Amino acid sequence: MLGWPGKPDQIAIIEYAGRRAKPVQHQVDRATGDGMYTVSWRIPGTLAASQTRRFLLRFDTSPVIGTPGTAIDVATSGNTLVVNNGDITLEHQREIGGFISRVTVAEATGALSWHDKVYDGTAYYLPTHEAERMEVTAAGPLRVVIEAASVYLGVNGEQPPSKPRAVYRFTNYAGLPITVVEALVTQEFAQQWKSLHFIEMGTGGAGFTNIATDGRGGRLEQTGRFFAGAKWGAVYNEQLLIAMCTATQPGAYDGGGGKHYLQYLRSGTASMTTLAYRWKDAILWGPGGQALEDRTVQRWHEILAAPPTVQVHFSTLATRLEAVTRIVNVKERALDKLSGKDWAVAHVGMTLARGGAAAAGKKITGGSFRETLSAIESCEQALNANSSEAELAQTGSGLAGLVLGHPYLGNDKAVYLFARPEHGAGLMSIYDRAGSREFLSIDPVHATLWEATVKTEAGGASFANNAQPCTVTFNTDAAGGQLLFEWSEHAAVDVVLRLGVGEALLRGRIEATIDEDKPSGFVSVAFPVVKGIKPLSPESQRDTILDTGRFGRERPSPLLSSKVHNIECPPGMQFTALTGDGLGFYFGEEDGLASRKQLSWAAAGDSLNFSIVHAVLGWGGDRPVRTYRSPGHVVLGPFRGDWYDAARIYRKWAITAPWCAKGRIHERADYPKWLIKAPYWSIGYLQHEKDIEDELNKQAFYEIPTMVAHVYNYFFTRHLDDRYPEYFPPKLGSAGFTAAIERLQSNGVRVVPYVNGSMWDMDTDSYRMEDAERRGAIWMSADGNLNITTSYGGGSSLATMCPGSAIWREKLSAITSELVGRYGADGVYFDFLTDHRGDCYNPEHGHPICGGNFWAKAVHDLYAGARAAAKERNPEAMITGEGIGEFCIDVHDTFLSLGESGSTAPLFLAVYHGYTNVYGGIYNNVDPVMLGRWWLMGCQNGWHG
């Protein structure tokens, strides 16, 4: 992109190699913005790894290089655009939202359909109708770009209230077998979408026979299986292959129930809770399975995951930037001689100057001439600013107030600096004094702090701190310093932030209120929203973010992975951190209600954005929710160390949370002592007499005095997941099942049967006779849309039941009571609930409609009821369930880890060690290293099949 007023045909690209200067074939396309162009050129020959080649972009009319052997072009015919790229032909159809309807590679052709959509219980699609706009924005010979813009519509043509829309850009390069697909999805307000589906390509019409991913692959046999990869996924036959090369959750569904047309290949899905969402993936078009044998797909994944980088140099601007940077560095060294308020004032001046220099550095390498110039000018201004302006309260080393018009909160550990109140007071600088390190890089006008979304009769609206002025008051006392921000334009929003004495972490709360006379209510409140978080290690190479869902693990920084990373709470723990090179940046929320929230990391340019979005309690109901208040402190800031140190910060609060109130497990009277000593969990069946022997054989194999048999299939079904929740009488008969359990117990084996925590088979008599649908089925939307699963139970229709409904709570308590009381089971395992997260719109259930702690409380109370029922029959009985969720620690005795093979950051146990247990393992994986590692991490082994 160039901010240049000339004509495209005056641009030439010349390669310098040694003393030779050689014109290079190029293409110039107009881009968005006045005087902005996209320039593409073909690098002659090959570009080896870590090789640098230099090209000069010259504004003159050098000789034009002729069309090369491999050119790309695009032809328009009515509502069809045809891209011809060597032996690859792609047809875009306006009637299906501008998507690709047909691909040809050499002689092989495949018909494609698309299912890209947003979903919140009801699905709204892009490809079901004509694109509003489908146009060629670059026409070759090197690069063809097609843009399609559409709205999402329901099956009857209806538009959801937030009017979501998408612009898809398909970029093709001459001679390359890939199409880069970028989407920008926007909506008028931040409606909460369960899922946004990106590149969901129906491939059933293309005659594919196989699926391959970097994980599992196999033949396409229409059996309803999903094959998931982590890096790439492909479908293919002998002549044609289509692959997603840089997907977030690549995979393919092989078509269900003998229906090939259901088959699809996808890039990924994600929940969407913001105003805008960006996606990117690259589709590879190949000549059949050969492309896998030749490693073409794998290689393109690697190339696209770490593409060659282009740096732009403006020599005159670079000289001016060097000069101003030298002055910044000289002045920075002089800071050491200052202290107290003098230091604070000089620090703010330096922060602004550094910000300008950093912005200029970023813009110059990105090739933005005008923006570089204005950033250099703002740096020069900051260096010349009169630095006497400060209004600060001070107690000890704690300082709070306004410096050069910027809200300031600091002590001898850290300084937090905000944009001027007239610019909305976004968080623009976090400075670690001990390490002399700035953690943020964001210009004050775009700095953020919070964002809120309301729904109105007409639809909704979103607003944020940075578009509206606020007032700031401040004080300090012996405990530390405090800033109070107040906004009033759309709603009364107060944010209180405190920095304690000797603390580097900031603690804050938000409270937002809408006037009674306004017809709007809150849907979600995002706080904090922090933009411009800088990498901790050079180029993020050693940076990880902590995924505190489930067992806990480290993931590469989104700046490396290009993936948005969301941690959904519950069941995830309510903290995360960026770590790298011994440094950390912590975010957490100390919410003892375990309210619904999404902790979200995303790459934006060369820095990271982070936010915690809270869906407010009752937002889906008829009565507008006019107040939102932080249920606990939001905590953020720098720390030293790695994942373990981050876990220790959270643990300090977590063991005071309500779910830890019963204390450590070895001190708890209600914690079964036998479970503490159990060395192993099997997966058993107990449907025939011989299954009893199987369990005893497992116990003998490991030579263990006791173990826990986790038993399935003890009930009558055609399939495993049929007839729920009618488990009785068991297959062995009432007396037979009781005898089986007694026999195992007499040999030291404890028995914990499986129960599905969420599903009721709609074909059962009980579903009709107990009026289960009305009294307990989850409504996915306010119009009574049920959540029915047919793929799970071998075709039977299973209704998802609401944990907040009395009928379902009572049903699961009764089953628990029967299993523990009548049959003598040692406890019950609940599938689904702990690991899931949902909303329910059914007003008959008597719970708040959506958001907040609705789900956490409903699930927790359901378990509490079942646990009480079990304990009434046997005080030594236990309760467990699928997945890991901190909010259930007091009502679960242990958690199933779900297929974890290990982790470099076992965060859940680092936080809750001593307060709960985890068990599990990997099916068929019993090698000593695996078992030993699992034991070392503090888990009970088991689940090996």
Question: Which positions lie near Zn ion, rule CB under 5 A?
Answer: 802, 804, 840, 842, 845
Of 196 and 858, the one with the shorter C-beta distance to Zn ion is 858
Angle subtended at Cα 203 by Cα 197 and Cα 206, rounded to the nearest 5 degrees: 160
Angle between helix 733-746 and 689-702 (nearest 10): 10
- For strands 878-882 and 894-896, give the pairing: parallel
We find the least distance from the C-beta atom of residue 843 to Zn ion, in angstroms, to be: 9
The residue among 142 and 856 lying less far from Zn ion, judged by its C-beta, is: 856
Q: Residue 625 CB, nearest distance to Zn ion (Å)? A: 17
By beta-carbon proximity to Zn ion, the closer residue of 862 and 939 is 862
Residue 142 to residue 355: CA distance in whole angstroms: 38
SS (H, E, C) 508-530: EEEEEECCCCCCCEEEEEEEEEE
**Min dist. Cβ of residue 793 to Zn ion (A):** 21
Distance CA 665, CA 851 (A): 31
Q: Which residue has the tokens 């304690």?
A: 500
Helix (H, G, I), strand (E, B) or coil at 867: helix
- Please return the burial class of 456, using the count of CB atoms within 10 Å of its CB with bins 0-12, 13-18 and 19+: middle
Cβ partners under 8 Å of residue 319, min gap 6: none
The distance of closest approach from Cβ of residue 614 to Zn ion in the complex, given in angstroms and rounded to an integer, is 20
Q: Which is nearer to Zn ion, 118 or 840 (CB)?
A: 840
The residue count of the chain comes to: 945
C-alpha closest to that of 242 among 102, 119, 351: 102
Rounded Cα distance, 510 and 496, in Å: 7
Residues 910, 868: Cα–Cα separation, whole Å: 29
C-beta of 373 vs 802, nearer to Zn ion: 802
Beta carbon nearer to Zn ion, 42 or 847: 847
Output 354 or 845, the one with its CB closest to Zn ion: 845
Q: What are phi and psi of 286, to 5 degrees?
A: -130, 165
Residue 461 or 762 having the CB closest to Zn ion: 762
CB of residue 596 to Zn ion, shortest distance in Å: 15
Residues pairing with 144 in the sheet: 139, 172
Name the strand (E) or helix (H) holding 936.
helix 928-936
Nearer to Zn ion, 447 or 833 (CB): 833
DSSP assignment of 815-862 equals HHHIIIIIS--SEEEEESTTT-------GGG-S--SSTTHHHHHHHHH
**C-beta closer to Zn ion: residue 126 or 802:** 802
Phi and psi, residue 814, nearest 5°: -65, -40
Closest CB 616 distance from Zn ion, rounded Å:
17
Nearer to Zn ion, 528 or 838 (CB): 838
Nearest-approach distance from CB 552 to Zn ion, in angstroms = 30
- Closer residue to Zn ion (CB): 620 or 942: 620
Q: Which residues contact 557 (CB under 8 A, 6 or more apart)?
A: 535, 540, 543, 544, 545, 578, 580, 601, 603, 608
Q: What is the closest distance, in whole angstroms, from the C-beta atom of residue 840 to Zn ion in the complex?
A: 3
Structure tokens at 634: 């939001």
For Zn ion, the closer of residues 2 and 778 by Cβ is 778
Please, what is the minimum distance in Å from the beta carbon of residue 778 to Zn ion?
Answer: 6
Coil/strand/helix, residue 588: strand
**Whose Cβ is closer to Zn ion: residue 742's or residue 771's?**
771
- Residue 231 structure tokens: 């890096």
Q: Which residues contact 128 (CB under 8 A, 6 or more apart)?
A: 96, 97, 153, 155
**Least distance in angstroms from the C-beta of 812 to Zn ion:** 14
The least CB distance from residue 855 to Zn ion, in Å, is: 10
d(CA 696, CA 31): 71
- Tell the smallest beta-carbon distance from residue 776 to Zn ion (Å): 7
Task: Using alpha carbons, list the distances in angstroms from residue 662 to 593, 645, 659.
Answer: 16, 25, 7
Phi, psi of 644 (to 5 degrees): -65, -40
**Least separation, in Å, of the C-beta of 801 and Zn ion?**
9
> Smaller CB distance to Zn ion: residue 452 or 780?
780
Largest CA distance in the chain: 94
The residues with which 607 forms a beta bridge, in sequence order, are 604
CB closer to Zn ion, 845 vs 860: 845
CB of 846: closest distance to Zn ion in angstroms? 8
Closest to Zn ion by CB, 497 vs 807, is 807
Token pair 């009565």 is found at: 623
Q: How many CA atoms lie within 13 A of 903 on its CB side?
A: 26
d(CA 394, CA 478): 10
**Shortest distance, position 892 Cβ to Zn ion, whole Å:** 22
**Exposed (0-12), middle (13-18) or buried (19+): which is 58, by Cβ within 10 Å?**
middle
- Return d(Cα 753, Cα 383) in angstroms, integer: 71
Q: Give whole-number Cα distances, 361 to 55, 325, 355, 358, in Å.
A: 20, 10, 10, 5
Report the nearest approach of Zn ion to the CB of residue 804 (Å). Answer: 4
369 three-state secondary structure: helix
Q: Which is nearer to Zn ion, 196 or 802 (CB)?
A: 802
**By the 8 A CB rule, do 939 and 916 touch?**
no
CB 592 → Zn ion: shortest distance, Å?
23
- CA-CA-CA-CA torsion sign (928, 933, 937, 942): negative
The tokens describing 122, both together, are 């009801």
